[in-house]
Structure 1
């Protein structure tokens, strides 16, 4: 089966090893990292028939470094849940190795699409 894009939307992802190049923000970002376990990075989350991935946008690539692109095979997804957020909710996509957290508008709809795509690629659970 050919990997096809199902949904692609603007989002932020919590990146554990993200570092800011703006030194004046270091104390604030250090505190933020301690609370959240990483920094929120702006970009695009894309759900395909085989993966869910995040890629940072150009502005965040200029301002930050770290693992700014993340891809999770749907066959490895063990759980998908929607967590409350301030302006947008957070979709937590779990695998045996990690949890990819993305915040986006219409998070519940995106989470449902990830679950449906995972079930389609792995067989209904």
Structure 2
């Protein structure tokens, strides 16, 4: 089955196992002529401890079959870990909109856990994903109850 792209947006998504290559960041800072790698490391490590991961910049692609989250080139240069995520729509049990600073957060609840991403227009993304998963949930309930 070919997947049809329904929506694509620039996002930040929360990744638990991301590791920052501070040496690579230092090279970037040296080339730019500014920045303090030690200060950045302290902030990012503190954030990772409190929130259970780091926000990774990239792109969300919603197809008729799945939600894809892919890191952008800049993040790939300085980070290692899970930089590409695919969540089949059949695994999404619930999608909710959560508060956030400047942008709202989309939360996808699955049997394997929750996945968070933030973007402009998050309310519309939640509504679209809800619409796409609703028929799957309704069909499953009808089959079980029959």
Provide the TM-score with structure 2 as the length reference: 0.80
> Does the CA contact (< 8 Å) of 1:12 and 1:102 recur in 2?
yes
**1:54 & 1:93 partners in 2: Cα distance?**
12
Instruction: Name the structure where helix makes up a greater proportion of residues.
Output: 2
Considering only aligned residues, what root-mean-square deviation do their CA atoms show, in Å? 1.4
Encode CA deviations 1:58-92: one digit per residue, 9 max, x unaligned.
00100111001011000010111111000100000
- Counterpart of 1:44 in structure 2 is 59
Alignment of 1:34-73 (within 5 A): 34-73=49-88
Aligned CA distance change for structure 1 residues 123 and 79 (closer, same or farther; 3 Å): closer
Q: What are structure 1's unaligned runs of at least 5 residues?
A: none
Ranges in structure 2 where 5+ consecutive residues have no aligned partner:
24-36, 142-146
Greater than 3 Å deviation, 4+ residue runs:
none
Q: Per-residue deviation at 1:100? A: 1.1
Residues 1-125 of structure 1: pairs in structure 2 closer than 5 A: 2-22=2-22, 24=37, 25-120=40-135, 122=136, 124=138
Structure number with larger C-alpha Rg: 2
Rounded to whole Å, the distance in 2 between the matches of 1:12 and 1:54 is: 9
Q: How many angstroms apart in 1 are the aligned matches of 2:22 and 2:57?
A: 16
Residues matched between the structures, number: 124
Q: Normalising by the residue count of structure 1, what TM-score does the alignment of the two structures yield?
A: 0.93
- Deviation at 1:123? 5.0
Offset at residue 35 of structure 1 (A)? 1.7
- Checking the alignment, whether the CA contact within 8 Å between 1:50 and 1:117 is kept in structure 2 is no
